[in-house]
Amino acid sequence: MTASTRPPAIYYYSVIHERFIYLDIDKPTTMEPSPVSQKSSDSGLHIQLHPLVLLTISDQITRHAARQQRGPILGGLLGQQNGREITLEQAFECPVTCGLNNETILPAAWFEERLQQFKDVHKDPALDLVGWWSTAPATGPTAAQLPLHRQILQNYNESAVFLAFLPSGVQGANSNGAKLPLTVYESVHEGENAQDASKDMQVDGEEPVLNIKFRELPYSVETGESEMIGIDTIVQGSSTASMNVIPTQESSKQAQQTESEGKKPSPQVELTQEEEELISSLTTRLNAVRTLETRISLIKSYISTLSESDFASDVSKDNTSTTKLSHSTLRHINSVLSNLSLLTPAEQSTFSTEFLSQSNDVLLVSLLGQLGENVKALRELGRKTATIQAARQVSSARKNPSSMIQRSFDEELFATGNQGGPDSGMYS
């Protein structure tokens, strides 16, 4: 093979072996048949994919591209398996090392330690290794990924799934609502020819050679409450970050012009996080008001174009091409107008009275809560005062034993019900 026809190769640094490893990324298809099965899945498995897995995969691929790293990108998948449903809830990054035949495999010691760390953290609910993920071409998994999958099947989970992320799908996804650029596979053992596998088993009583094949599984995206909060925080952070606009060429030209004129550029005011979030919230509301204004102007323009002739032609059932009347649009407009009474009540005095009554109820409950807290604080103060007084009496008695004897004698003498007490009538 000449240098011009040699397949491209990549080198990446193995942390485990502390050396560069050579990988062929394009090999002849005759030597490495595709491991994707032509048959559809009949196992009934269903995958529930959580957004946190997508965020982790996106972050890892972004960092890999930003740092200009080479080598395969892959990681483990944690989740639960309940019957025929498998959840993919967590993902983590994994390095690779070189095997006996120069294939890429996972470092066993490192992977077991990291997997145990994740299990210790995620105990409620208990998560376990349910599969792994990596990037793949549009045609699906390649033969170079089979050693990794065999290692996970033999050592960790015999029913592990494989999530293939398709970078080509990201480049082609330009429209909103496009399909996610990923596919989930299960692994099955098939013969070299899946259609004639049953016939091969009957030839001379010999079993055919079974190879690992990948079959596509259906999946759906599921989101928990904690993930909703996290995603909402990420969205707010991205909207806040979008406020910090990168200076354009015009702004740079203006800055150069001010410097050439000898004017000092105006100092940029650094905003706090609360101020940036406030600006982002106000911007969102302003955009919503502008959108509402455009919708109202659109309704007004549509109503203004209608005339009495349109209604007359509709009544006479003379529907011509020039008729602009649309009953569905008018019903929507009527529905919107009928709901305006909920926002702006007709009787403002009744609304004010009801609002004042509810405000008083809320304030009364708040005052009762404060009163209860004050009573609790007073009881605690009385208890502490009684404890301090008792401690002072004990300390003074220890310093003056005669006063303690006198006080005990007085208590016995004037005790209620004793003979010679105040109520005995001796001194009357």
Q: Are residues 38 and 185 in the same domain?
A: yes
Tokens linked to 229: 């909060």
Stretches where the chain sits below pLDDT 70 are 1-32, 171-178, 192-210, 234-269, 311-324, 341-346, 401-411, 413-428
**Side-chain half-sphere exposure of 246, counting CA atoms within 13 A:** 1
**Residue 184 and residue 38 share a domain:** yes
Q: Does 158 map to a domain?
A: yes
Residue where a domain terminates, one of 229, 259, 286: 229
Query: What does the pLDDT read at residue 70?
Result: 81
User: Into how many domains does the chain fold?
Assistant: 2
Last residue of a domain, one of 210, 229, 248: 229
* Element (DSSP H or E) covering residue 385: helix 348-399
Does 264 reside within a domain? no
Cα–Cα dist 75/411, whole Å: 82
Say if residue 223 is in the same domain as residue 354.
Answer: no
- Residue 337 within any structural domain of the chain: no
**CA triplet 67, 73, 76: central angle to 5 degrees?**
125
DSSP three-state, residue 98: strand
- Nearest CA to 72 out of 161, 140, 133 is that of 133
DSSP classification of residue 175: S
Domain check: are 215 and 361 in the same one?
Answer: no
For residues 353 and 221, membership in a common domain is answered with: no
Q: What is the pLDDT of residues 40-71, one digit of tens each?
A: 888 888 999 998 898 899 888 888 888 888 88
Same domain, 353 and 225: no
Range of the domain at 80: 9-229
Does the reported pTM lie above 0.75? no
pLDDT at 418: 52
For residue 223, the model assigns a pLDDT of 83
Which residue, 229, 245, 277, sits at the end of a domain? Answer: 229
| Residue type, position 254, single letter | Q
Domain assignment of residue 173, yes or no: yes
The answer to whether residue 165 is domain-embedded is: yes
pLDDT at 5: 46
CA angle 244, 246, 251 (to 5 degrees): 115
Q: Please report whether residue 273 resides in a domain.
A: no
Within a domain: 391: yes
Q: What is the CATH number of the domain that holds 114?
A: 3.40.140.10
Residue 116 lies in a domain: yes
On whether both 357 and 213 belong to a single domain, the answer is no
